[in-house]
Amino acid sequence: MKNTKILVKGTRIGLVLRKNNNDYISLTDMAKFKDRELTGIVIANWLSTKYTVQFIGAWEKMYNPNFNVMEFNNIRNEAGSNGYILSSSKFIQKTNAIGIKSSAGRYGGTYAHKDIAFEFATWLSPEFKLYLIKEFQRLKAEENERLSLDWDVKRQLTKINYRIHTDAIKEKLIPKLLSKNQSNVIYASEADVLNMALFGKTAKGWREENKSKEGNIRDYCDVTQLVVLANLEGINAELIRENISQAERLIRLNQTAISQIKSLINNSSIKKLEDKYTN
């Protein structure tokens, strides 16, 4: 999860970016475009209209299995009537809504899933909505580009260490005059030594368990696993040069993997990297 802001028509709008594009936008900040002092009233007026209630209800029914439909029906019947005011906190409390979130305090306010927030923007001003969408898409494009670049850097780190690893295999394990296919058999075997040490399964075993997924086992590593994998490649290269048997190397590498995972699992630097790549 990542908190950030964008500037829309002179108004700073808070965003909470989550995995799978499940992003939330601050309705409180958006309401400042209409009235900076009475944001709660602006939101309540919008939320009290029949169309808004129907739209949010349809969204909740689609994405929220715990949505209280009975309470929602009561609210829908009253929406739009004279004097009826519906606050976000009241709607959340009565219906178990997840599309709108409200909290008190200095950093609190009312946030809504982007689908709902864009509807609020339409109610505020069509022009405001267009600028909001433009800035939101720009931010998401930059975020996706950064994540793609950072992930590529991590993969390149593993590839660089893997070159050291394969060079050691070539020096010690591959006899002269072997064909390329014969060499590849040994490479695959050594790659699976690392896979078994860290993941407890071979690349083929992972593919058989994950037939619906593209790529390979290493494409689904988390940050901690990638760091340990890079370390294991260097360690295995040295063990190969020392003529340690594959069976003994597997035991040593597995012990090292367990030890390093335990050391890194609560490491603050690793946690920062994981937050960067998974939120």
* Residue 274 located in a structural domain: yes
* Residue 38 located in a structural domain: yes
Structural domain containing residue 211: 147-278
User: Could you tell me if 131 and 124 are in contact, meaning their C-beta atoms sit under 8 angstroms apart?
Assistant: no
* Residue 36 located in a structural domain: yes
- Cβ within 8 Å of residue 101, ≥6 positions away: 24, 92, 110, 111, 112
* Residue 235 located in a structural domain: yes
- Reported as half-sphere exposure (CB side, CA atoms, 13 A), residue 64 has a value of 19
User: Could you tell me if 201 and 218 are in contact, meaning their C-beta atoms sit under 8 angstroms apart?
Assistant: no
Asked whether residue 112 falls in the same domain as residue 151, the answer is no
* Residue 245 located in a structural domain: yes
Asked whether residue 85 falls in the same domain as residue 162, the answer is no
First to last CA, the chain: 4
- Reading phi first (left if > 0) and then psi (alpha if -120 to 50, else beta), residue 218 is in alpha
Q: What is the pLDDT of residue 42?
A: 94
Q: What is the pLDDT of residue 183?
A: 52
- Reported as half-sphere exposure (CB side, CA atoms, 13 A), residue 39 has a value of 16
* Residue 264 located in a structural domain: yes
Asked whether residue 163 falls in the same domain as residue 199, the answer is yes
Asked whether residue 202 falls in the same domain as residue 97, the answer is no
* Residue 199 located in a structural domain: yes
Q: What are phi and psi of 105, to 5 degrees?
A: 105, 175
User: What residue type is assigned to position 136 of the chain?
Assistant: F
Asked whether residue 120 falls in the same domain as residue 168, the answer is no
Dihedral sign computed on CA atoms, order 122, 126, 132, 134: positive
Q: What are phi and psi of 24, to 5 degrees?
A: -120, 145
* Residue 133 located in a structural domain: no
CA 63/CA 231 separation, integer angstroms:
42
Asked whether residue 119 falls in the same domain as residue 152, the answer is no
Which residue from 157, 109, 115 is spatially nearest to 133, judged by alpha carbons?
A: 115
User: What Cα–Cα distance (Å) separates residue 60 from each residue in 52, 65, 66, 144, 276?
Assistant: 12, 8, 9, 27, 29
Q: What is the pLDDT of residue 145?
A: 67
- Give mean pLDDT in consecutive 10-residue pieces for the chain, a chain of 279 residues: 85 86 92 90 93 95 95 92 88 94 78 95 94 90 68 62 62 53 64 87 88 82 82 90 88 87 67 55
Which residue from 168, 183, 187 is spatially nearest to 240, judged by alpha carbons?
A: 168
Asked whether residue 76 falls in the same domain as residue 198, the answer is no
Q: What is the pLDDT of residue 175?
A: 46
Asked whether residue 119 falls in the same domain as residue 34, the answer is yes
CA 91/CA 264 separation, integer angstroms:
43
